Amino acid sequence: MTRFLNREHFPAGAKAAGQLGDALDAILARDGRSGMLPMLAGYKQILADNRRKDEWDAINEKLMTLFKCGTAAPLDGPMIGVSISIRDSDYLAPAADRLGTGRSALARLEWMASLWNLTFGKSGIWMGKTFEPVAPETVAQKCENHPATVAAFDPATTRIGRNFFRQPHNPSLLQLAGLPVLTRLWNLKDRPLSVEAGEFDSVILADNLEKEKAIPYTHTGGIFLAQPGHSIVASMNEKPVYQLNYRWPALHPVYPMTRLIDELVQIDEGVFLGQLVMATRHYSLGTIDLLSGLIPGAGALTLGEAYDASAPPDDYGYQNNGFFLMIDTKKGAAGLCGRRLCLPAPPSRRSRICRTGVRPGAAAAPRDPVGGRGRSHQRLAHRLAGRCGPSAEIYHLLPGSLNAAG
Q: What is the structure's pLDDT at 123?
A: 78
Whether the Cβ atoms of residue 225 and residue 344 lie closer than 8 Å to each other: no
pLDDT band for 188, please (50, 70, 90 cuts).
very high
pLDDT band for 397, please (50, 70, 90 cuts).
low
Average pLDDT, the chain: 83
- What is the signed CA dihedral for 226, 224, 144, 281, rounded to 10 degrees? -100
194 pLDDT higher than 80: yes
Contacts of 8 (CB under 8 A, 6+ apart): 17
pTM summary value: 0.84
Each residue's pLDDT tens digit, 35-50: 999 999 999 999 999 9
Q: What is the structure's pLDDT at 359?
A: 37
| H-assigned helices in 48-110 | 56-69, 93-99
* Lowest mean pLDDT segment, chosen from 16-25, 119-128, 133-142: 119-128
Angle CA 56–274–212, to nearest 5? 120
- Average pLDDT value for residue range 368-374: 44
What does the alpha-carbon distance between residue 249 and residue 246 come to, in Å, rounded to a whole number?
Answer: 9
283 DSSP β-pair partners: none
What does the alpha-carbon distance between residue 265 and residue 319 come to, in Å, rounded to a whole number?
Answer: 17
Q: Residue 217, class by beta-carbon neighbours within 10 Å (0-12 exposed, 13-18 middle, 19+ buried)?
A: buried
The residue ranking higher by pLDDT, 406 or 205, is 205
Percent helix, percent strand, percent coil in the chain, to nearest 5: 40, 20, 40
Q: What is the structure's pLDDT at 299?
A: 64
Of 221, 224, 86, 84, the closest CA to residue 166 belongs to 221
331 pLDDT higher than 80: no
Q: What is the structure's pLDDT at 344?
A: 27
16 pLDDT higher than 60: yes
Peptide bond into 256 cis (omega under 30): yes
- Average pLDDT value for residue range 265-283: 96
Secondary structure letter of residue 364 according to DSSP:
P
What does the alpha-carbon distance between residue 14 and residue 19 come to, in Å, rounded to a whole number?
Answer: 9
pLDDT band for 4, please (50, 70, 90 cuts).
very high
Q: Which helix (H) or strand (E) holds 375?
A: helix 375-385
Q: What is the structure's pLDDT at 383?
A: 59
